[in-house]
Amino acid sequence: MRLNEKAIIRKSIIELCNAEPVRKESMDDAIRAIREKRGNKNRDESLWDYVVALGAQLSRPPFDPYREKIKLRTEIGRKGDQKVTLKIPLLLYGEFDLSQSSKDSLNLALNDLADSNSTIGIISKDEPCDERKYPHFQIISDINQISDPDGIVIEYVNANTIEKIKKIRKEFWGPVIVEVDENFSYYVPQLLELGVDGILIDTAKITKSEKYAEKHAISVIHDARASINEFYQGKENDGACLIVAGDVDSTGKIIKVAGLGADVIGYDTSLLIAKVGHYSEEFFDEEITAKKIYNHMMATKNELTGIPAALGYSNFHNLSPSDFRTSNIKASLEGDIMLEGVDKTYTQILEEIFDDHISKKQIQINEQQKQKILEKVILEEN
């Protein structure tokens, strides 16, 4: 491991752990001041910034990522021999129109990552590249045009999609991922019943829909995770995963998205290319760009081991909402995240106040009526 990569991990751990057990002032105040100074007062845009991670406590001491193995390995698939393994829980994904040079650079970088035991995958409409060492998930619309991918991604359009999935399942034994729309809660159980291996949500798309127009990506992730958990209530999840894509292009967002329920994160491909300095074709060098992509993803991998270690986990997938706090009521409501200083979600606080009120007033009310009232209050708050 290079010195600069060690420095990144060390910095991440220090930033997460170097906070007082009880803050007298929210860290978000500084963020607010910076954004207001820049003229950006839209709290919804910065909602991710109002979610902070808690460092490991005495009951859960931090791990040393230099000496102890931090697990990132992730499997996609519910059928034993057909599972796809990622050594980093990332799939490159996004609406983009890359040049051939960019595609060649990606192929070189992804092969080098696989050789370094740091395999990530890619989701695209393209046919798999020759001499590919990494998993490729092909986006298909025509089920008769499958070109030997490791997995398939199909978009849920309407009830006819169910019939397409049934047909795919008879002919293709790799993982099948379904990209869902804003109405996913209605049909996710049916998809999982069919044996679908993964549910993909693109928060950038869904938050533009009418249903989630006033919501943040945090809300979409929370609801999608809840839909999967509800299907498996009372039984063990047999491998169905949640893949979350959107404007994810940094380690901080990856950690927060994973903690809120994602098993795999869709890293925006176009943002990745932009980050490594994608310049005009006239001056484009495939090998240099491939090396930049490789270095960027290796640095991301090191951060993805360092931060969970600072939180006291040896497994990246042990992250959960309980590892976060927020000073923002909207973030608490949409992601079921505990508020700073009280270690309760805003919903829990409302429930306690409500229960105390009806108890003092000796009001007779059943659970269903109670939930309806609380939902109305929360809706007004949100």
CA 125 and chain centroid, separation: 21
**Reduced to 3 states, what is the DSSP secondary structure of residue 101?**
helix
pLDDT of residue 358: 76
Paired tokens of 128 = 């798999």
Paired tokens of 55 = 């460092």
Q: What angle do CA 374, 380, 381 make, to 5 degrees?
A: 85
The DSSP string of 57-82 is -TTSPPP-TTTS--B--EEE-SSGGG
- Phi, psi for residue 267 in degrees, rounded to 5: -85, 125
**Rounded (10°) CA dihedral 5, 8, 11, 16:** -120
- Provide the terminal-to-terminal Cα distance of the chain, rounded to the nearest Å: 46
Compute the distance between CA of residue 30 and CA of residue 377 in angstroms, rounded to an integer. 30
pLDDT of residue 282: 52
pLDDT of residue 19: 46
Of 120, 55, 88, 87, which is closest to residue 309 (Cα–Cα)? 55
**H helices present in 82-216, as ranges:** 100-115, 160-171, 184-193, 203-206
Q: What angle do CA 222, 226, 228 make, to 5 degrees?
A: 125
**Reduced to 3 states, what is the DSSP secondary structure of residue 209?**
coil
Cα R_g (the chain), whole angstroms:
22
Count of Cβ atoms closer than 10 Å to residue 130 Cβ = 6
pTM, 2 dp: 0.84
pLDDT of residue 270: 80
Cβ neighbors of 94 (< 8 A, separation 6 or more) are 245, 266, 268, 269, 270, 271
Task: List the domain boundaries for the chain.
Answer: 74-318, 344-381
74-318 topology per CATH = TIM Barrel (3.20.20)
- Contact status, residue 351 vs residue 374, Cβ threshold 8 Å: yes
Q: Could you write out the three-class secondary structure of 299-333? A: HHHHHHHHHHHHCCCCEHHHCCHHHEEECCHHHHH
**H helices present in 138-237, as ranges:** 160-171, 184-193, 203-206, 217-231
Compute the distance between CA of residue 239 and CA of residue 75 in angstroms, rounded to an integer. 8
One digit per residue, the tens of pLDDT, for the chain of length 382 reads 455 555 555 555 555 545 444 443 444 455 455 555 555 555 455 789 899 998 888 778 899 888 889 999 999 999 766 899 999 999 999 766 778 888 888 999 999 999 999 999 999 988 888 789 999 999 998 877 788 899 999 999 988 999 999 998 888 889 999 999 999 999 999 999 999 999 999 999 999 999 998 899 999 999 999 999 999 999 999 999 999 998 787 899 999 999 999 999 999 888 887 777 655 445 567 888 899 999 999 999 999 999 999 999 999 999 999 999 998 989 999 999 999 988 899 888 888 887 777 777 777 777 777 777 777 766 666 6
- Phi, psi for residue 98 in degrees, rounded to 5: -80, 150
pLDDT of residue 214: 85
φ/ψ region of 8 (left if φ > 0, alpha if ψ in -120 to 50, else beta) reads: alpha
Q: What angle do CA 17, 7, 253 make, to 5 degrees?
A: 60
pLDDT of residue 22: 40
